[in-house]
Amino acid sequence: MQDLPLWLDLWRWCHALLGVGTCAASTLPLITALTLLIGRRGQARLCASGAARLARLGYALAWLGLPAMGGSYLTLLYTLRGVNTAPMPVSPLAPAMLPITLTALVWLAGLFCAWLLKRACARAPLPPLRRNAEEDRYTTAAVRDRLQLSLLAAGCFFASYVTQNWPFAGLPAGLTAQAVFFAVFSNALHNYFMAFAPAGALALFFLAVARPSMPDGPNAQDAQRAARWCALWAMIGYIPFCLDRWGLVIGFALRGNGLPGWLGPQIPPLALLTAAVACWSTLFALPRPLRCNTLIFLGLFLLLARASYPFIRNFVFPG
C-alpha cells in the first residue's frame, strides 16, 4: 500500500470540508426555484426576498468548487504517478483525467448560471407589500427568467455528479454502457438529494449570523418562516440515508454474528450525522427556530465533524 505524505492527507481533509460547501452550492439553485414557485400561492414578497438571498449564498459557495477540483486533479496525478512506473499522461484530456476536467467545465457553466441568477434576483423588484394573504402572490410569468436560470444552474451542478463518476477510461468488465449509465445516474441522484442537507444547514447558519437578535414584529415572523424552510431541507436530505444505514446496523446486530468489518467504522460518523438530523428536525418543529442558535450551530458543527472523522481517526490511530 502506498504511504501518502502528510500534505496529501491534510489536503484530503480540507477537500472533505470544501465538499460540504460545494454540495450546498449544487442544490441551492433548485431550492431557490422552489422558493420562487411557492410565491405563486402566497408570501410573494418573502419568497422573492428569500430567493435573492439563497441565490447570493449559492453563488458564493459555488466558488469553493474550483479549488476543490484543482486539488482533486493534483491528488489524482500524484496517485497515478505513485502506482505506475511508466510515464503518466498529464493532459486534462487523458482518459484518467477526463472526469475531473469535464466536471470542472460543467461546474464553471453552473457557476456562470448562478451568477446570472444572482443578478436577476438582485435586479427584480420586490412585490408590493400586501396585508391580504390572498393577494400576496405573483404569477409564474413574473419569475420565469429567474426560474429558468435557477434550473439551468441546478442542471449543470447535477451534471457534475454524473461526469465525476463516469468511467471514461473504459467500462467495467461485464457491464454495458446502459447499465453503467443507470448505475452512475442513480448514484448521482442519491448524492444530489443528500446535498440538500448541507444547503439547508449553511442557509440556516448564515441566516442566524445575519439576524442575531429577532425582535417581535412582521419581519421577525418572516425570518422564522425562512428558518423553518431551511431547516426542512437540512432535515430531509439525510433522513433516507440514516434510515438505510441504521437498518443495516440493526439487521446485522440481530443476526448475532457481529458487524462486518466494512460497517463498523461507519457507525461513529453515522451517529454524528443522525445527531445533526435531530438538531434540524427540532428546529423545524419549533415555531421560532432562530431563537435556538445553539441547535443551528451544533447541527453544522456535527456535519463538519462527520466529514472530518475519517481523517481525525487516521491521525490519532495511524495504520
pLDDT digits 0-9 by tens, 31-62: 999 999 998 887 888 889 999 999 999 999 99
Cell matching residue 231: 431547516
Give the Cα separation of 89 and 6 in Å (integer): 25
Give the number of other CB atoms < 10 A from CB of residue 275.
16
DSSP state of 262: T
If you count them, how many residues does the chain have? 319
DSSP string, 223-251: HHHHHHHHHHHHHHTTHHHHHHHHHHHHH
Amino acid at 156: C
pLDDT digit string, tens, across residues 20-33: 999 999 999 999 99
DSSP letters along 32-67, please?
HHHHHHHTTTS-HHHHHHHHHHHHHHHHHHHTTHHH
Statement: residue 143 has pLDDT above 70:
yes
- CA end-to-end span of the chain: 11
The CA R_g of the chain, rounded to the nearest whole Å, is 22
Residue range 55-105, pLDDT digits in tens: 999 999 999 998 888 877 777 777 766 555 455 556 777 777 788 889 999
Query: What is the C-alpha separation between 1 and 175, in angstroms, rounded?
Result: 28
The CA-based diameter of the chain, rounded to the nearest angstrom, is: 73
Q: How far apart are CA 152 and CA 158, in angstroms?
A: 10
- Cα–Cα distance, 169 to 196 (Å, whole number): 31
Query: What does the mean pLDDT of the chain come to?
Result: 86
pLDDT of 1 higher than 80: no
What the block records as the C-alpha cell of 79 is 496517485
Residue 66, classified by CB atoms within 10 Å of its CB into exposed (0-12), middle (13-18) or buried (19+), is middle
**pLDDT at residue 214, rounded to an integer:** 44
Note whether 136 and 42 are within 8 A (CB).
yes
Q: How far apart are CA 91 and CA 97, in angstroms?
A: 7
What percent of the chain has pLDDT above 90? 52
pLDDT reported for residue 259: 79
Q: Output the CA–CA distances (angstroms, integers) from residue 63 to 52, 91, 122, 267, 303, in the order listed.
A: 18, 24, 19, 32, 20
Per-residue model confidence (pLDDT) at position 85: 47
- 67/130: higher pLDDT: 67
Q: State how far the Cα of 299 lies from the Cα of 277, in Å rounded to an integer.
A: 7
In this prediction, residues 123-140 reach a mean pLDDT of 73
> What is the spatial distance between Cα 106 and Cα 104, in angstroms, rounded to a whole number?
6
Residue 105 or 252, more confident: 105
Higher pLDDT, 174 or 191: 191
What the block records as the C-alpha cell of 184 is: 452512475
pLDDT, residue 218, reads 44
Query: Can you tell me the mean pLDDT for 285-308?
Result: 93
Task: Determine the pLDDT at residue 81.
Answer: 66
